[in-house]
Amino acid sequence: MFETVLLPTDFSPDSQKILAFVKEIPGLRKVLLLHVIDATHQSLKGWTHGPEIENAKILLEENRQALEKKGIPVDTTINTIRNGDIPSAIIEKAEQENASLIMMGSRGKNAIRNIPIGSVSANVIRRAKCPVLLMRFPPDSRAADDRRNLFSRVLVPVDFSGPSQDALTLVKGMQGTGQVILLHVVDKGESEEEIHATVQAARKKLESVGQTLSAAGINTEIRVHVGYTPDEIVATAERDDVTLILMSPQGEGLSREIRALFIGSTTNVVIRRANRPVLVTAGMKAT
């Protein structure tokens, strides 16, 4: 499934927490540890990033050893750029190495506490051509010895669009997935009767999807809610205490997605507000 995982790190607390979850990635064979040094601005003494590079080598080696103790082969890379575009450096590395997943933290070491998602993470998610796993951590994260597997309870929002089907195909193909919660949100309707009919139709569709997943050995529950889609996704993730939200980068209808860009698409809102890891299925195609 995700044989080659690119793990960009700036050695911030969020990026260091990720190391404990890497072994849980389905199909993992190799990790590519990447640290990008932005040398855009020189000091009055000229280019003086030598100490930073040496320090990065030491920290990458520590991370490599920690992962290899878990039996994970690791390659390390330090990429020095002079254009300030760290997201492009990450994406280019992913494409060069044919990475099947980019796994990264939501905040960098210089992030302001009240900013919900770092600019690097947001730009990578928008531009990546492969799935991106954004690691968000609940404020009351469990102790290390009480932590559940990342894929033990997965919330999958479903709007029955093509991209949504891609996400379902990914779920079906992932070995080791525990329980899956399928959620559809009815967000429009002119009358109570129309909303009720839409809810019933959505429930039947979800039951059909659930039967397909159950036939593949995946324990499935279904939910149909009425309301604002991002609110319902985030609330369900908290209420059902999920370990991961898995969703497509786009919703139903291109025109609807274009309109949503001005107020924030469902996916963008969820990754900014959820206190759970979010796997965005960019680049996935249903088979």
What pLDDT was estimated at residue 161? 85
Is residue 75 located within the same domain as residue 194? no
282: confidence class by pLDDT, cuts 50, 70, 90: confident
Contact between 156 and 247 under an 8 Å Cβ cutoff? The reply is: yes
Does any domain span residue 286?
no
> pLDDT tens across 210-256, in order?
999 999 889 999 999 999 999 999 999 999 999 999 998 876 544 34
Which residues make beta-bridge pairs with 80?
Answer: 37
Q: Specify if 285 maps to a domain.
A: no
- Helix or strand or coil: residue 181? strand
Residues 26, 128 within the same domain: yes
Q: What is the pLDDT of residues 163-203, one digit of tens each?
A: 788 888 888 888 778 899 999 999 988 899 999 999 999 99
Whether 127 and 90 share a structural domain: yes
Task: Give the residue from 135, 159, 176 where a domain finishes.
Answer: 135
Q: How far is CA 71 from CA 79, 99, 110, 111, in A?
A: 25, 19, 31, 32
Could you tell me the CATH number of the domain that includes residue 179? 3.40.50.620
Domain that holds residue 75: 4-135
What letter would DSSP give residue 145?
G
Work out how many domains the chain is built from and give that number: 2
Residue 210 and residue 276: Cα distance in Å, rounded? Answer: 23
Q: Are residues 148 and 275 in the same domain?
A: yes
* DSSP H helix total and E strand total for the chain: 9, 10
Which residue's structure tokens are 């089907």?
165
Helix, strand, coil shares of the chain as percentages rounded to 5? 40, 20, 40
pLDDT in tens, 94-120: 999 999 999 998 765 544 343 445 678
Clarify whether residues 127 and 187 are in a common domain. Answer: no
Using the 3D structure, point to which of 135, 162, 185 is the last residue of a domain: 135
130 and 168 housed in the same domain: no
